[in-house]
Chains A and B, each alone.
Chain A
Amino acid sequence: MGLSRRRWRTSSAGVLLEEVLVGPAALEYLDALHALLDRFWAAVNGSRGPRPLADQRTAFITGLIEIASNIIRYAYPPLSAGKIEIRLRLHRDRVEALLTDWGQPFVEPETLAPDWSDELPESGLGLSLARRALDRVEYDRDSSGRNHWWLVKLL
């Protein structure tokens, strides 16, 4: 976990298991991502690696789907055929997801972490929810114009 801000993008040290899904950044990708998660947990259960607890798996899925949904909704202009890639990885101490897209830079909204109980917001909850569900949520854009997200749930 002691990775520097940018090292996480390229480091595959300590990966016990990996599942990858590449596809169009469209709503159908979410169905495929849930299927990928099912395969990933099945592989985790059959491995000699650590077994994430049920609530750790649930939190990981919840945070991951929020960030993937944000990419599908906002990374590309409507009706453009953009791409998204997600790698799910098991380590001794964590499960992580590496998300890549080739869309516009992510700009964090100014109104982060709204007081949910006061305002009853109907949208804009995704990133804050991901941060609460996960242990790390990192974003970086590389010099080739790719966006990278690193999502971690510690075990």
Chain B
Amino acid sequence: MDDQQPDHQHQTVPSDMTLRVKALESLLVEKGLVDPAALDALVDTYEHKVGPRNGAKVVARAWIDGAYKNRLLADAAKAIAELGFLSTQGEHMVVVENTPQVHNMVVCTLCSCYPWPVLGLPPVWYKSAPYRSRAVIDPRGVLKEFGLDVSPDVVVRVWDSTAELRYLVLPERPEGTESLTEEALAALVTRDAMVGVAHVKAAQTGGKP
């Protein structure tokens, strides 16, 4: 795999991409266009500091504090900033609430728009052709593949992120969690539930994506 073939520009073997990205990075560093330490810090931010645990804290707070939930649904960016996850002007967020009558799910049919500050970078399936093509025309079929059977009389709302607004689903709080602390509740909330392709389950032990 060390043999680089210039006429196979779109070769997809990883070693090829490794070499090409390495070459570009060293060129950009040598030209003074990027600071390698800044690259490290950017990668570290999304690998270790930002992710669905942030969103889970927002959801748990909304579940235990009705006033916070109202603020979250009225002005999501501001309410999320209260928990320290984004600068007030940095994001334009909308939180949509699941209820027994309404199920919400989020997609970006045109690219990969996703609420980075609260969920981190999107998983591959969210950016994939199957999800992007089908979420708007067959939402119930997609949900079924995720193991979610939505009753025919429940309204399904699909949010296609076509502008700079970013959507987060506020899932339903599962029954039997009345005695749990805010931290314990946050541990139940999954990434998939906040995209709207899963319910939160009381039995789940948490920590999953």
A and B pair up: no
